[in-house]
Structure 1
Amino acid sequence: MLENRPYGRRRLLRDAALGAAAVSTTGLGATAASTPAQAAPPAGTTGRRSGAVSFRWWGTSGWRIDIGDRTVLIDPYLSRYDTGLFTGAFHQDTPLTVDTDVIDPLVDRAENIFVTHTHWDHFNDVPYIAGRTGARVFGTLTAYHLGLAYGLPAGKLAPVRGGEVLDFGDYTVEVVDTLHSRNGSWSVAFPGVRVTPPPRPEKISDLPEGDTLAFQLRVAGGPSVFFMGASDLNERNLTGLAPDVAMVASAATTSTADYVPRLMAALDHPKVVVPVHWDNFETGLTNPPRVEPNDRKRLDALIEEVRRVSPRSRVLVPEYHTAYHF
């Protein structure tokens, strides 16, 4: 077992500031360790105080972050259509579909969209949302060229590689070069990059992985939150981030060695760990989130491993649409 690194003064101050964050396992049958994190009213309702910061999970690794009256999206995939992935009959030629009836009520605005990678369950809805809201899209060079293929203006597409620290006034976003999950054959689904604009994508296999990023959002006067969209890492690229909260992708396989111990150590044992990418993302965004038996086992294993190697971290298992304040 990896030893936890000693707590320094900075980490003690950080942990004290986040003392209200908690384990939340509503609908998943786990045991709560403390009081639930504070929830905000649903998006679009009145009464949200100016300057409030809330984080809403949209399934898979998708998030809506409201910072006062400014909205940031990460991997917003809301269409959630059937490809056969969860029934053992996966069809890589499944047509790309955008469910505007689901998206439009949830996405009233967005100024920036951050894309971890360009598989369909992360990128599918991004071009539509960007076109509807006028948001700028940050992602890999592949995301840039796919955005052009969808007709988005080049001025609204911002290619990033990792290492950038982007200043938006009320918040900054640090871009991290990272790795995609490995499948049971130690490979990656739909590998490849796009170095020029392709024809407009028509099926899910037209959206390759295209390299993978993570993002750390730091709110002025608020928390630092790490977002990942796949379950592998280059820990050298995570050193020094030390987020308050980490949105951690559940591992789909055991192909990556010591995934959780390496991740927790590299992130300096975050105060709050939020598992993501464990739900069945081909069903609707209805609570409690649907989790298939094998994915439930992997989620339980992730929680158990976090508690073992980072016992001072609290695990918060999110529900859809619920807004959390850290």
Structure 2
Amino acid sequence: MSGLSRRTLLGAATVPALPLAVAPVAPAAATPSPSSSMSPSGSRVPTARPSGLAALTWLGNAGWRIEGTRSVTLVDPYVTRFDTGLSRGAFVATTPLTVDEQAVARHCPRADRILVTHSHWDHVADVPAIAARTGATVFGTRTTGFVARAMGVSATRVVDVRGGEVLDFGDVVVEVVRSLHSRNAKHAILFPGTLTDVPAAPVSIADLPEGDTLSYVVGTPGGPRAYLSGASDADVRALSDLRPDVAAVPVAAADATHDYLPRLLETLDRPRTVVAVHWDDFDAPLGVGERPLDASMGQRLPRFVDEVKRVSPRSTVVVPRHLQRLPL
């Protein structure tokens, strides 16, 4: 699969990239309130405010750090962000798996649990190193569990979930939601398949199959809740009655899924805040990769904002900065 471009993989057209922006859909007041701040472009964006959760911190791609009153939950933490050639249009499926221990220590110094949406490299590759450093328990599909164990995580710190579980950790409640992975222009999934046993230790990104996909709703007991997704598709039948306050929604890189964003937002009852994720250049380090993954994504990102405004005009849409803290 060497030499493949993102267009080949994801079916997107090549268009000029646009600069990063933080864009609320709701009208902004002339003077920001104490619970907001101004972006460089002058748009009003939310800042952290007191709640049961201290904040959601975006780790880039589909990754999050969620601070409860007593514990820290990570979702899809991928902070090594090694180069696969994807953003340059020269994707190499045999790219070796590597871990940047300094980035892991800096951005994920503590974790009580790690929630994994699926087993592609940009969601799971750093998980074993983080679990080893912090002692966190890894939650995910059966395939994710096998992958984690193959990469050195003890079976006693791996928990398989399928969707439908509501897990009470005291200060944080996690609802596991059955989901779907995005598809390319040929309606196929990159690195498809599931595992039925612990494999040999993976060496390259192609050794990490998708392995089914989940999403998570994370919140405080009786308090606000955030829907956190790792792929630009959803099983809308599994989303009934969730009604999250915040939805972290991946920006689609292809148009293979019919009415992806309208169906998702309508089923989620048009959340108060919609956060665009999985649009940045995860082939580059945090900060450096704070830009659309490629020229195609540069066009799709503002279209995403416009579509949220059309489908859910009362929602505030946020295109976050790397390591930006957002209120729940």
Would the TM-score normalized by the shorter structure come out above 0.5? yes
In structure 2, what is the equivalent of residue 247 of structure 1? 248
Closer, same or farther: CA 23–209 of 1 in aligned 2, 3 Å: farther
Query: Does structure 1 conserve the Cα–Cα contact (< 8 Å) formed by 2:52 and 2:171?
Result: no
CA–CA distance in structure 2, aligned partners of residues 113 and 284 of structure 1: 21
- Contact 1:217/1:226 (CA < 8 Å) preserved in 2? yes
Indicate the residue corresponding to 2:152 in structure 1: 151
Change (3 A) 1:50 1:255: closer
Match of 1:97 in 2: 98
Q: Which residue does 1:201 correspond to in 2?
A: 202
Q: What displacement does 1:68 show?
A: 2.4
Asked whether the equivalents of residues 23 and 316 of structure 1 are also in contact (C-alpha less than 8 Å), the reply is no
Question: 2 CA distance for matches of 1:50 and 1:310?
Answer: 25
Does structure 2 retain, via aligned residues, the 8 Å contact 1:288–1:319?
no
Match of 1:160 in 2: 161
Following the alignment from structure 1 to structure 2, what is the Cα–Cα distance between the partners of residues 316 and 128?
30
Does structure 1 conserve the Cα–Cα contact (< 8 Å) formed by 2:37 and 2:46?
Answer: yes
Partner of 2:306: 304
| 1:38 aligned partner | 47
Change in 2 beyond 3 A, CA 1:111/1:308: same
- Comparing 130-139 with 282-291, greater Cα deviation is found at 282-291
Q: Which runs of 5+ in 1 are unaligned?
A: 1-18, 41-48
Report the CA distance between 1:52 and its aligned residue. 5.2
Separation in 1, partners of 2:243, 2:222: 16
1:297 and 1:172 map into 2 onto residues whose CA distance is 36
CA–CA distance in structure 2, aligned partners of residues 21 and 281 of structure 1: 30
Tell me which residue corresponds to 1:43: none
Give the Cα separation in 1 of the matches to 2:246 and 2:258: 23
Q: How does 1:263-302 map to 2 (within 5 A)?
A: 263-286=264-287, 289-291=290-292, 292-302=294-304
One-letter identity of the residue aligned with 1:199 = A
Give the 5 Å matches for 1:59-208.
59-208=60-209
SS state at 1:89 partner = coil
- Matching residue of 2:4: none
Counterpart contact for 1:141–1:160, Cα < 8 Å = yes
8 Å CA contact retained: 2:53, 2:220: no
Indicate conservation of the 8 Å contact 1:175/1:213, yes or no: yes
* Number of residues of Structure 1 aligned to a counterpart in Structure 2: 295
| Structure 1 letter corresponding to 2:185 | G
1:36 alignment partner, SS class: strand
Contact 2:138 2:157 in 1 (8 A): yes
- Do the aligned partners of residues 52 and 190 (structure 1) sit closer, same or farther apart at CA in structure 2, a change above 3 Å counting? closer
TM-score calculated relative to the size of structure 1: 0.86
TM-score by length of 2: 0.85
In the alignment, the residues of structure 1 paired with residue 99 and residue 125 of structure 2 have an alpha-carbon distance, to the nearest angstrom, of: 7
* SS of equivalent residue, structure 1 residue 104: helix
Cα distance in 2 for partners of 1:209, 1:20 equals 42
Question: 2:259, 2:37 → 1: CA distance?
Answer: 23
CA distance in 2, matches of 1:119, 1:237: 22
Preserved CA contact (<8 Å) 1:84 1:91: yes
Other structure's SS at 1:146 match: helix
Given that 1:22 and 1:272 are in contact with CA atoms closer than 8 Å, whether structure 2 keeps it comes out as: no
Structure 2: runs of 5+ lacking an equivalent? 1-32
| Identical aligned residues as a percent | 46
Aligned residue type for 2:324: T
Tell me which amino acid in the other structure corresponds to 1:86. S
Shift of 1:222: 3.4
Per the alignment, do residues 22 and 241 of structure 1 end up closer, same or farther by CA in structure 2, a change over 3 Å counting?
Answer: farther
C-alpha distance in 2 between matches for 1:20 and 1:243: 23
TM-aligned CA distance change 1:228 to 1:21, over 3 Å? farther
Distance change (3 Å), C-alpha of 1:163 and 1:232: same
Match of 2:5 in 1: none
Distance change (3 Å), C-alpha of 1:212 and 1:21 = farther
Over aligned residue pairs, what C-alpha RMSD do you find?
2.0
